[in-house]
Amino acid sequence: MKRTKKYWNEMAGYLSGEMNDEQRRSYLINTEMDHQHNKDIELMKKTWNDFNSNPEEKYKDTGKAWKSLNQRLENEGLLETPTRQLRMHNLNYAMRIAAVILLVLAVGVPSVYYSVNNANNRKGIIEYNASEGIRTVDLPDGSRVFLNEGSRLEYRKDYEMQRNVNLRGEGYFDVMSDPERPFRVNTGKVVVTVLGTSFNVKEVDREGVEVFVESGKVRMDIEDDQNSITLGPGQLCMANGALESKEQDDLNYMAWKTKEFKFVDEPVGNILDVLEKAYHVSVKADQLPVSDMRLTTTYNDQSFDAILNTICTALDMQYEKDGKDYFLKSN
């Protein structure tokens, strides 16, 4: 496969989630035996993960970066046929392409691939850690995982023979359908088995695990036990020695991933608790009766500072910031 602009553009489309399931599957089949492509996409996956963990990258100059990359690819003989200037119709898509471009420009394809290929490999195990912020992991079969901060995902190098992964912490899974190869998530306490669906797995404490199904169906089994349960869309199951399912009614359950919040006549103390967990910050309001204050409001993909500014304005407060620690006080 020639490494043209179309080549890089399709790769960016795959990594950014612009493709539907059929397009993703076709893309993976067409590139499966292309050794050079596999090397390049592993490089780009690492860049994508860095971008998702560092959203400030979205403010980079996409157009300038693309122009610079185009020149460099031509100079190094990596761009084998000329094409027209890339047109950006989707801002989020363009930002993600810029993130890939900027890393390539900074360190070059060979050196980045070497570092990615040798990172987190031990005894046939591939490991990903979300040390800060949310990290996106694309699995070899086209499935995608969003790891919450502080979480870890592992799978064996022979993953495509048996689609088994190990999770510590919390992760949201968007699984490619493959009836002949069930997808399994092992937390060390429970095993979640699916064919193709979207669901969230969360370690609640040392013993408990929660599974929430957004679409499709999953089966949940307690390890070393005969207990199992099947969950459908909107259902949540808590495993803590036993399995107990219920309808999930928390409006902000997936806010850690979506950064979409909805609060209806909610005590401000509860609002701050939800925001702290979603943004991994600490808010101290020791001198303020925040539990007695209530708000009805929504937020959609805003920074924590922007949200806190609106709360403070509404309640006549102000805050001081020290790293990830925020201190509220009255005006």
Q: Identify which has the larger pLDDT, 9 or 97.
A: 9
- The residue among 7 and 155 whose pLDDT is bigger is 155
Does the CA dihedral 148-131-25-219 come out positive or negative? Answer: negative
Domains plus CATH for the chain? 5-118 (no CATH), 121-247 (2.60.120.1440), 255-330 (3.55.50.30)
Residue 164 confidence class, pLDDT cut points 50, 70, 90:
very high
Give residue-wise pLDDT tens across range 109-118: 433 333 333 3
Spatial separation of the C-alpha atoms in residues 320 and 54, rounded to whole Å: 23
Mean pLDDT of the chain: 78
Dihedral angle, C-alpha 271, 273, 274, 277, nearest 10 °: 150
- Residue 179's pLDDT is 85
Say how many C-beta atoms besides its own lie within 10 A of residue 64's C-beta: 12
Taking Cα atoms as reference points, which of 101, 147, 98 lies closest to residue 127? 147
- Percent over 70 (pLDDT), the chain: 71
Collect all residues with Cβ–Cβ distance below 8 Å to 19 and sequence separation of at least 6: 13, 27
Closest CA to 89 of 18, 161, 31, 173: 18
Q: How do residues 219-272 score in pLDDT, each as one tens digit? A: 999 876 678 899 999 999 998 878 888 888 899 999 999 999 999 999 999 999
Where in 177-242 does DSSP place strands (E)? 183-186, 190-194, 198-203, 209-215, 218-222, 228-231, 235-239
Whether 94 has a pLDDT exceeding 60, the answer reads no
At residue 14, the pLDDT reads 76
- pLDDT tens for 270-329 read 999 999 999 999 999 887 888 888 999 999 999 999 999 999 998 888 999 999 999 998
CA distance 237 to 300: 27
State the Cα–Cα distance between residues 56 and 83, nearest whole angstrom. 30
Q: What is the pLDDT of residue 174?
A: 94
| For residue 167, pLDDT beyond 90 | yes
Confidence of residue 15 (pLDDT cuts 50, 70, 90): confident
**How many H-runs (helices) and E-runs (strands) does the chain carry?**
9, 20
Does pLDDT of 56 surpass 60?
A: no
DSSP three-state, residue 128: strand
pLDDT-based confidence at residue 119 (cuts at 50, 70, 90): very low
Quote the pLDDT of residue 45.
Answer: 65
Backbone angles phi and psi of 127, in degrees to 5: -130, 135
β-bridge mates for residue 31, sequence order: none
The Cα–Cα gap between 297 and 233 comes to: 26
Which H/E stretch holds residue 158?
none
Question: What residues contact residue 135 under an 8 Å CB cut-off, 6+ apart?
Answer: 49, 52, 53, 128, 129, 146, 147, 151
Using CA atoms, how far apart are residues 251 and 260, in angstroms rounded to an integer?
9
Report pLDDT for 161: 87
